[in-house]
A and B are shown apart, each in its own frame.
Chain A
Amino acid sequence: MHVRKLLTLACTAAFAAFAGGAHAQISGDTVKVGVLTDMSGTYSDLAGAGAVLATQMAIDDFVAAEKPDFKVELVSADHQNKADIASNKAREWFEREGVDTVTELVSTTTALAVMKVAKEMNRITLMSGPGSTPITNEQCTDLNVHYTYDTYALANGTAKAVTQQGGDSWFFLTADYAFGQALEKDSSSVVTATGGKVLGSVRHPFPASDFSSFLLQAQASGAKIIGLANAGADTTNAIKQAAEFGITPKQQLAGLLMFISDVHSLGLKNTQGMYLTTGFYWDLNEDTRAWSQRYFEKQKRMPTMVQAGQYSSVMHYLKAVKAAGTDEAGKVMAQMKSTPINDFFATNGRIRDDGRMVHDMYLAQVKSPAESKGPWDYYHIRQTIPADEAFQPLSESRCPLVKK
């Protein structure tokens, strides 16, 4: 009798442990990661198919190393940089396909739209591609992580370094919409705070293809540095035409939002000597080289910081799901925020209350054609900007979640 009772108890306990442990808390026994990105538009080179590949690599590596007792699936879609398409797709994924997290989300308008939907449905968003600071300020949510970079970090890094190195008078070439104006504003304040002067700016329509008029106005200003507060094709065309009109190298350009894909497409001849800030470079150390090489073999291009950050963020998320034993958004997010991030992408990275993942950033200078050993050997890393200095301090935060 005594033995039987004990046996029953033991069995029940074992069963309870088994049932309550891993399985029961993961809906459908599957974690679904959605990649919603720009597959065909302006940002498709810096995010796009490369971001989908990075996500797949993260999932494969996670499954191989951690051997979770749940399945991990990937779904992806093209949001075409349109807010309505992005939010409809996210809603469909959440409601009908049981997607647990929507990731990547390059371009601010799509990011902000999906953040709202995800918050409403109690799901997590992980953002690698978008750049604007409202994501972690006015519009912040407790279920979002802004992972790779933001315009504050880029403008701050580049503007500060260039001003300190003697580039103390600036003229801005600004894309005439919210993003460009914010970039100009952030950079101007850094320039002034570092002891430089802003001589003026010209707002060009977005998008534009001929920059000669605007460049001549920048030239006439006599500023030492022409700050490019724009992105993508606007930046590349402006850089190319500045060289054509003999503006560089007499005056120097500072790209405030540039990716390695831009440098690759323009070539070193047009970009040599430019300063830029980046969250990742493939040739930083053994770990970055090893990971990037695996990526390169599949994609035939080196990863941008967005694509590398995408891998890191998805990996961090999956590990948190495993550790928390659930895919419930609040618990997973608590786990993510309490665990520091250490991998090839970030050292001692951490997620703050406003959703900002802070990690070291790097100030890079583009090599000259003679210094480069071949394709993708593009950057001298001039300075590591420590995490605490790189991003907007919490004391300046406009996010209601931040307790001051």
Chain B
Amino acid sequence: MEIFGVPSALFGSQLLIGLINGSFYAILSLGLAIIFGLLNIINFAHGAQYMMGAFVAWIALTRFGINYWAALLLSPLLIGLLGVVLERTMLRKLYKLDHLYGLLLTFGLALIFEGLFRDQYGISGQSYDVPELLQGGINLGFMFLPIYRAWVVVAALTVCFGTWFMIEKTKLGAYLRAGTENPQIVQALGINVPLLITFTYGYGVALAAFAGVLAAPIYQVSPMMGSNLIIVVFAVVVIGGMGSIMGSIVTGLGLGLIEGLTRVFYPEASAVVVFVIMVIVLLVRPAGLFGRTA
């Protein structure tokens, strides 16, 4: 059987792979969307933080023998903590200024982080093995699905929807949203708004590090792994609507699928298809698919 001239088995497997890549986009763009939505900072260091998440996992394993599962917790904690320090010492001073300043600061930080890791570990990257429990794969008939990739989808989606739930449906989330809407009044009600904001940035950064650990067994752990991905992720956030939580999750998955299909029908265009969609969306709905116009 064929679908548009492509064997259906290949078609099915490409959809599945699109979903896997989409879940990476989703979790990364979610972190960016939270940070932008609540702090109004365009976090250009997101890719570098994702890279550092992967490196922490690799260093933990090779230096200290800490396994993948522990790294999955440890790495986001450490890098999240680094985020907290950055927010307290630097970003905090920029909230009243134009977006551009936050962008430039985080961009500079990204270059510094990448440079430091490149200097220390070289450019070719390091190999991180798939954890034993998740090695091997399942034969689905139309494709061989590595168990690790299936785990990535499950883990990423769980974290994404957990985050969405926390922000949209819990009291903490309500404080957060209120705090960004009108910080003075929320502060007057006895809630520590600056602390909330620090926590939010730390959490967004921790999401990037979590994605980094998920990615470590799939890609080479290399200093530039984040900079290759970050531009696409920004496009995802713009398409979804800057700051929209659900928008970034759904768009991330959707674009992963579209990219996957492009790789079958016209592989040469698979790197630009996301940006073509971004241009179209900006022309038709400048606030993004799920964004509310200010």
Closest to A259 in B: B124
Q: Among B10, B124, B130, B146, point to the contact of A264 (Cβ < 8 A).
A: B124
B84 within 8 A of A: no
Are B124 and A244 within 8 A (Cβ)? no
A292 to chain B, nearest CB (A): 18
A236 touches B17 (CB 8 A): no
Q: Is the CB of B127 within 8 A of A217?
A: no
A266 CA to B218 CA, complexed, in Å: 12
Which residues of A sit under 8 angstroms from B127, Cβ to Cβ? 240, 265-267, 269-270
B268 touches A203 (CB 8 A): yes
Residues of B within 8 A of A202 (CB): 267
Q: Check A217/B220 contact, CB under 8 A, given A176-B268, A269-B129.
A: no
For residue B20, which residues in chain A have a CB less than 8 angstroms away from its CB?
A: 212
Total residues of chain B contacting the partner, CB 8 A: 42
Stretch at the interface among B95-103, B222-230, B277-285: B222-230
A208 vs B270: C-alpha distance when bound (angstroms):
10
Q: Which residues of B contact A46 (CB under 8 A)?
A: 124
- For the complex formed, measure the closest distance between the CB of A236 and the CB atoms of chain B, giving whole angstroms: 5
Q: How far is the CB of B224 from chain A (nearest CB, A)?
A: 7
A205–B268 CB distance below 8 A: yes
Question: B14 in the interface, Cβ–Cβ < 8 Å?
Answer: yes
Instruction: Check if B130 sits within 8 Å of A233, measured CB to CB.
Output: no
B270 contacts A265, C-beta separation under 8 Å: no
Question: Interface code A230-261, partner B: CB below 8 Å = 1, 0 otherwise?
Answer: 00110011001100111000000000000001
**B223, closest chain A residue (CB):** A40
In the complex, how many residues of chain A place their beta carbon closer than 8 angstroms to a beta carbon of chain B?
Answer: 39
Question: Please, which residues of chain A bring their CB within 8 A of the CB of B148?
Answer: 244
- Asked if B118 is at the interface of the complex by the 8 Å CB criterion, the answer is yes
- B256 → chain A closest CB, angstroms: 10
Q: Give the residues from 124 to 155 in chain B that come closer than 8 angstroms, CB to CB, to chain A.
A: 124-127, 129-130, 137, 143-144, 146, 148-149
With an 8 A cutoff between CB atoms, is B104 at the interface? no
Q: Does B180 contact A (CB under 8 A)?
A: no
Q: Which residues of A contact B129 (CB under 8 A)?
A: 269
B225 near A213 with CB under 8 A, answer no
- Least CB distance from A258 to B in Å reads 11
The answer on a CB contact under 8 Å between A203 and B267 is yes
Task: Answer yes or no: B70 CB below 8 A from chain A CBs.
Answer: no
- In the docked arrangement, what's the CA distance between A44 and B218, Å? 23
Contact yes or no, B7 A220, CB < 8 A: yes
**In this assembly, does A207 line the interface, its C-beta being within 8 Å of a C-beta of chain B?**
yes
Please give me the residue from chain B that is nearest to A264 by CB atom. B124
Cβ of A227 to closest chain B Cβ, rounded Å: 16
Q: Name the distance in Å between A304's Cβ and chain B's nearest Cβ.
A: 11
Interface centre among A42, A220, A237, A265 (most CB of B within 10 A): A265
Given known A-B contacts A213-B264, A217-B10, A233 and B224 have beta carbons under 8 A apart: yes
Q: With a CB–CB cut-off of 8 A, which chain A residues contact B217?
A: 244
> Is B271 part of the contact surface with A, judged by Cβ < 8 Å?
yes
Query: CA separation between A233 and B222, bound complex, in Å?
Result: 9
Instruction: Provide the residues of chain A in CB contact with B137, threshold 8 Å.
Output: 245-246
| B228-A209 in contact (CB<8A) | yes
Residue of B nearest to A241 (CB): B218
A233 touching B125, Cβ below 8 Å: yes
| A377 proximal to B (CB < 8 A) | no
A146 at the B interface (CB under 8 A): no
Report whether A209 and B124 are in contact in the complex, using a CB–CB cutoff of 8 Å: no
Query: Which listed residue, B118, B225, B229, B272, touches A40 by the CB 8 Å rule?
Result: B118
> Roughly how many angstroms separate A262 CA and B124 CA in the complex, as a whole number?
7
**A205-B268, A245-B144, A265-B127 are known contacts. Are A213 and B219 too (CB-CB below 8 A)?**
no
Q: B13 interface residue, CB < 8 Å from A?
A: yes
Is there contact, CB below 8 Å, between A265 and B21?
no
Q: A204-B267, A205-B271, A213-B17 are in contact. Are A265 and B126 (CB under 8 A)?
A: yes
Given A205-B271, A216-B13, A220-B7, CB of A244 within 8 Å of CB of B130: yes
B123 beta carbon closer than 8 Å to chain A? yes
Q: Does A291 contact B (CB under 8 A)?
A: no
With a cutoff of 8 Å between Cβ atoms, the chain B residues found around residue A209 in the complex are 219, 225, 228-229
A366 to B7, CA, bound (A): 35
Interface members, chain B 17-40 (any A CB < 8 Å): 17-18, 20-21
Residues of chain A whose beta carbon lies under 8 Å from any beta carbon of chain B: 40-46, 176, 202-205, 207-210, 212-214, 216-217, 220, 232-233, 236-237, 240-241, 244-246, 261-262, 264-267, 269-270
Task: Provide 27 A-B residue pairs closer than 8 Å at the C-beta atoms, listed in order of the A residue.
Answer: A40-B115, A40-B118, A40-B123, A204-B263, A210-B219, A213-B14, A213-B18, A213-B263, A216-B17, A217-B10, A217-B264, A217-B267, A220-B9, A233-B222, A233-B224, A236-B124, A236-B125, A236-B220, A237-B220, A240-B220, A244-B218, A261-B122, A262-B124, A265-B124, A265-B126, A266-B127, A267-B127
Top 9 nearest A-B pairs (CB, nearest first) are: A205-B271, A265-B124, A213-B263, A267-B127, A45-B124, A246-B144, A45-B122, A212-B17, A44-B123
Q: A210-B218, A232-B124, A244-B149 are in contact. List 20 more A-B contacts (CB 8 A).
A: A41-B123, A42-B224, A44-B122, A176-B267, A203-B268, A205-B270, A209-B228, A210-B17, A212-B17, A213-B270, A216-B17, A233-B124, A236-B125, A240-B219, A244-B148, A245-B146, A261-B122, A262-B124, A265-B126, A269-B127
